[in-house]
Every structure is written in C-alpha cells, then in structure tokens.
Amino acid sequence: MKLAVNIDHIATLREARGENEPDPVIAAGICELAGAEGIVCHLREDRRHINDRDVRLLRDIVKTKLDLEMAATDEMLKIAIEILPEIVTLVPEKRKELTTEGGLDILSDKKRFEDVIKELKAKDIMVSLFIDPEPANVDLAIEMNADIIEIHTGKYANTVKEKDQIFELSKIGVTARMASELGLIVTAGHGLNYTNIFPLLNITEITEVSIGHSLISRAAFTGLQKAVEDMLNIIRVNRN
C-alpha cells in the first residue's frame, strides 16, 4: 500500500496568520524525501488553504505524482488543464463545510461529470472519483470512464462502536473488491490516522491511502522539541 500525503493543513496554518509560512510547497518536498509516493492538494473555490501559486509551484517541484482535488467547475477544469497534474480527484465541495463531508453525488449532474472527465482524460490526466463505499457508485465510475476511485473513509473513521466499525469496513472491502475486479485502481482516504489505518491494511485491493490531517497533527508534536531547541540555540549562542 502506498502513501500519498495531503498538504492542505500546512496551508491552513499559513492562512491562519495570512503570512508566508509554513509553506506547503516546502512541505511537499519534505514528504517526498521521507518516502511519500504522491502529493495531494485541494484547490477550493474560496482558496481557504491551497492557492493558485501553491498549485503551480507544486507542479514544478513534485517528483512523484501530483493529485489535484477539485470540484467539477469550469474554473477548476481550466486550471487543471493548464497545470496538468498526474491525477485529478473530483470531490464535492460546500462553502460552509470544514472539510469534505462525503462522496460525490454523481447522479446530481451526471452529464457535467461526464464532460469534465472527458476533457481531463483528453489531456492524459487520470481521473479519480471520491465516492462513498457503495457498489452503485462503482458502477457509475465505470460508466463514466474513470480510472480510479477513492473510497471515502470518513464514516468508518468516525465510528465509535466496534460493530459499526466492522459494518463500515465491510462496505469498504466490498466496494474495493468490486472496483478492482472491474479494472479500477482503488485508493482510500479521509479521517485515517495512526490507529484506524490497521484494518485497512488487510484490504489488499486498496493500493494507496491519502492522509493529511493526522500526519500534520503528529508532526506538530514529534517536531516540537527540535523546533524549541533550535530557537533556544539561536538565542543563547547569539545573545550579547
């Protein structure tokens, strides 16, 4: 199973102060050097974290693969065709949501999704659909000529009771197997962390997971001691 790192939350930290750091572009390089096999970013309509500058620089520096998450809008389609990421993941987007709340409702505007997918694939961009773990969504992904499905694991990640977790895992497993048998590449993401990732490792059809928030959260603690020590060293060594 491969790991793609979503760097949106580095940009969220930057935008909290409206300044220049931390830079998600630098974060992408660090993640790749650490072994990540893909970089994921979500360019939202309101540019609440990742912005146009980030995407263009990421296209220049990412050496593994760049996965651009976006809504199926004319504006985002134009940017994707200009930037040419290896993958575009089509995701639902609501202005008031804190983070993506669920999978695509493809049937809400099927013709629109078909047109966007066709244009992206004409530019040799692989297309991933972010879907809830339901067999019907796999059928739609096949029908629309998608290359990849990313299974939304948010509901699984948020379960508390063991029986509910098992139920959600079974849905993910069934969806992954069906998609793989039909020739789709299967990935998964949303809400995955250092604990709940373990059961997914047994679903061999999932070839990659996309993780962001829990990685950035862990980094704040695992790197905090070194950050304080570095600052103290500067202060103590250079103070008159």
| Bond into 133 cis (ω within 30) | no
Write down the catalytic residue from 49, 69, 168, 208.
69
Active site residue 69: yes
SS3 call for 122: helix
Write down the catalytic residue from 168, 190, 205, 208.
190
Active site residue 190: yes
Active site residue 150: no
Kindly report the length of the chain.
Answer: 240
**Distance between CA atoms of residues 201 and 208, nearest Å:** 10
Do 92 and 114 form a contact (C-beta atoms < 8 A)? Answer: no
Which bin fits 35, alpha (ψ -120 to 50), beta or left (φ > 0)?
Answer: left
φ, ψ at 160 (rounded to 5°): -110, -45
φ, ψ at 208 (rounded to 5°): -160, 145
* Residues marked as catalytic: 42, 69, 190
